[in-house]
Amino acid sequence: MAPPRLKNDQQTSFEWSQDAVLVRLRSHSLSAQCQIRTQQLAPGIVQTDSNMSSPETR
């Protein structure tokens, strides 16, 4: 069985803020949201948090 394929049909959105990027994926069978946040704690030290949520994993 082939893996599902996401069409690029304007249902994927990216939002940038100063320290985060929010990616939303939507299709007929999938609605996932991934948030990646980076924060510079000190020169040379960067902390990255990522958070992914979808209806299947809630």
Q: Is 55 helix (H, G, I), strand (E, B) or coil?
A: helix
Q: What is the pLDDT of residue 28?
A: 61
Q: How far apart are CA 51 and CA 15, in angstroms?
A: 14
Read off the pTM: 0.39
Q: What is the pLDDT of residue 13?
A: 72
Provide the pLDDT confidence category of residue 37 given band limits of 50, 70 and 90: confident
Domain boundaries, the chain: 12-49
Provide the pLDDT confidence category of residue 30 given band limits of 50, 70 and 90: low
Please answer whether residues 34 and 47 qualify as being in contact, where contact means their C-beta atoms are separated by less than 8 angstroms. no
